[in-house]
Amino acid sequence: MGAKAPDTTILEPSKEIPVIRETDVLVVGGGPGGVASAVAAARSGAKVVLLERYGHLGGMATGGLVNAIPNLANLNGEQGIAGICQEIIDRLLAKNGAQVPKKASWGTSDKKVVDFYLDANYSFFYLRKHAVDGSFRVVYSCLADPELLKNELNQMVLEAGVDLFLHSWGARPIMEGNTVKGMFFESKSGRKAVLAKVVIDSTGDGDVFAAAGADYDATIRPGLRISNLAMSCWIANVDIAKRNAFRAAQPERYAELLNKATGGQFSRSLDRRAVVSGNRESEDLFFTDIVPNHDGVLTLQPHIPCKDQTDVEEMTRIDVDTRKMLVDTWDFCRKHVPGFERSWIMLTAPQLGTTGGKRVVGEYTCSEHDLTADRVFEDTIAVFPNNDTGRLACQHRDLCIPYRALVPRGIEGLLVACRGFSSTEFINNLWNLIPHCLCLGQAAGTAAAMAVDASCRVRDVDYKTLQAKLKDQNVILPCPAEGTGH
């Protein structure tokens, strides 16, 4: 236990801060939402500054070693997510830095493909059990190489003409009344300011909208995926064939060893993966990396329940605890599990994995009812395939997201394009992933550039023109005729 916080405050002296850029659009945070926002805004003709606190782009998708980009098509194999997300995948494939199922397999039960993903323990991302007929269906998902992804994201941002600032921590929004006018940020060069006509909060954690005074909801029921902090790690030089042979020959013994290796310390979400019964449908503790040439690499990813994923003391405790768990688990496997003898820990994620947090209260809050009512909005800006709600996935194939879910209520000059979009915990838990945030970013960046061009408020952007522009950018949207209103 650390020292008790003294119950006092201290006044920070005020000082003049240099304004280093005046721009059209300022994007704070360079994760999936931020990169797509910045690229889309710049390609739409806006002057764009992107601030990222770390030395690489990609957020959890790179620094969190979270490299699955899942659920790009529904269970029938119909693609729902394309646009910048597809562009990123195409760029990675061109460098042999991604694994995707062939298009002919999307939505099928092709045994060879199903077995490939089951063996690698990637059923969670690439397979769904059809709730009606019980068969496995192959899902169009992608596993990406995070190092190549970092480079591709840099290149995409620079090719679009974005003014990129890495190592730059967005500290406080610059406010005029209820309008966001820019951001103070901290770096090794000291405190600076960027002024902007539109700011996009892509911090994932909602740092900008919370400090700007927007209403938000931070309630997350314990047990939901988004209630955890997590730490990913890669174990290299595992003899996968030897491990697989042992797992196949002695499944109970393998399961027993994995449970011993974790010492019962992992949360429920990881315990679920630890139960290996000999039934090949069960999930393993480890994911076998299937990115081309990542031979002999396993991923381990403990999830730890957490009350507040932005509480620095809790983050510190969990960072220290998970690192120890990872080393202890690996060490046990090295000593006792065939195949691990010459393995080593190649990398632990540079960023602690934040899964959920503050969700802004927007002009519209996406909820379960939108899914069950198959609601298509007049201002739909993204379609998310529904692969995760069991039987509901067959009945309600897609979730539509309205532009208004990115527009904070009561605050001007700000859009939210990250996992903090306006949504209930049910929706956020299933649809705040990498591809979804890329979609939100592409829409927010395009809309921000439109608002600048038309000198209008972001909330007054013309939906129909926005949708037409997004379709021109290869974003998949429903036909206008399908619109069923608000």
Ligand X SMILES: Cc1cc2nc3c(=O)[nH]c(=O)nc-3n(C[C@H](O)[C@H](O)[C@H](O)COP(=O)(O)OP(=O)(O)OC[C@H]3O[C@@H](n4cnc5c(N)ncnc54)[C@H](O)[C@@H]3O)c2cc1C
Contact residues for ligand X, defined by CB under 6 A = 28-34, 51-54, 59-61, 64, 66, 68-70, 169-170, 202-205, 207, 230, 232, 301, 353-355, 418-419, 432-435, 437
The token pair that represents 481 in the structure block: 């005729």
Provide the β-strand partners of residue 359. Answer: 217
CB of 317 to ligand X, least distance (A): 17
Kindly give, in sequence order, each residue whose CB lies less than 8 Å from that of residue 475, ignoring residues fewer than 6 positions away. Answer: 82, 83, 381, 382, 439, 442, 443
* Choice between 359 and 459, CB closer to ligand X: 359
- Sequence-distant contacts of 76-79: CB under 8 A, at least 24 apart: 76/107, 76/397, 77/106, 77/107, 77/108, 77/138, 77/140, 78/107, 78/385, 78/397, 79/106, 79/140, 79/476
| Minimum CB distance to ligand X smaller for 127 or for 376 | 127
Beta carbon nearer to ligand X, 30 or 296: 30
Name every residue whose Cβ is closer than 8 Å to that of residue 262 and which is 6 or more positions away in sequence. 270, 271, 274, 285, 302, 325, 329
Cβ atoms within 10 Å of 187's Cβ, excluding its own: 15
Q: Can you give the length of the chain in residues? A: 486
Question: Helix or strand or coil: residue 296?
Answer: coil
Nearer to ligand X, 163 or 207 (CB): 207
In terms of CB distance, is 42 or 376 closer to ligand X?
A: 42
CB of 353 vs ligand X, minimal distance in Å: 3
The closest residue (CB) to ligand X is 31
Question: Residue 387 or 432: which CB sits closer to ligand X?
Answer: 432
Of 56, 23, 9, residue with least CA distance to 165: 56
CB of 228 to ligand X, least distance (A): 7
In the complex with ligand X, the residue whose CB is nearer, 242 or 345, is: 345
Task: Work out how close the CB of 143 gets to ligand X at its nearest, in angstroms, rounded to a whole number.
Answer: 9
Task: Pick the closer one to ligand X by CB: 267 or 354.
Answer: 354
Of 68, 66, 34, 79, nearest to 53 by C-alpha is 34
User: Is the Cβ of residue 93 or residue 378 nearer to ligand X in the bound state?
Assistant: 93
Using only C-alpha atoms, the chain has a radius of gyration, in whole angstroms, of: 22
Is the separation of the CB atoms in 233 and 347 below 8 Å?
yes
Considering the complex, what minimum distance in angstroms separates the CB of residue 459 from ligand X? 21
What Cα–Cα distance (Å) separates residue 255 from each residue in 288, 317, 466? 16, 28, 52
What does the angle CA 41 – CA 208 – CA 182 come to, to the nearest 5 degrees? 60
What's the closest the beta carbon of residue 83 comes to ligand X, in angstroms? 15
Alpha-carbon span 20 to 24, nearest angstrom: 14
Backbone region of residue 19 per phi and psi (left: phi > 0; alpha: psi in -120 to 50; beta: other values): beta
Least distance (Å) between residue 416 CB and ligand X: 9
Residue 276 Cβ vs ligand X, minimum distance, rounded to whole Å? 20
Nearer to ligand X, 51 or 383 (CB): 51
Pairing of strands 98-99, 68-69: unpaired
Which CB atom, from 246 or from 403, has the smaller least distance to ligand X? 403
Best CA proximity match to 45, nearest among 450, 467, 414, 454: 450
* Distance from C-alpha of 427 to C-alpha of 370, rounded to nearest angstrom: 9
CA distances 53 to 30, 186, 187, 241, Å, are 8, 9, 8, 40
CB of 8 to ligand X, least distance (A): 26
For residue 235, the minimal CB distance to ligand X (Å) is 16
| Shortest Cβ 234–ligand X spacing (Å) | 13
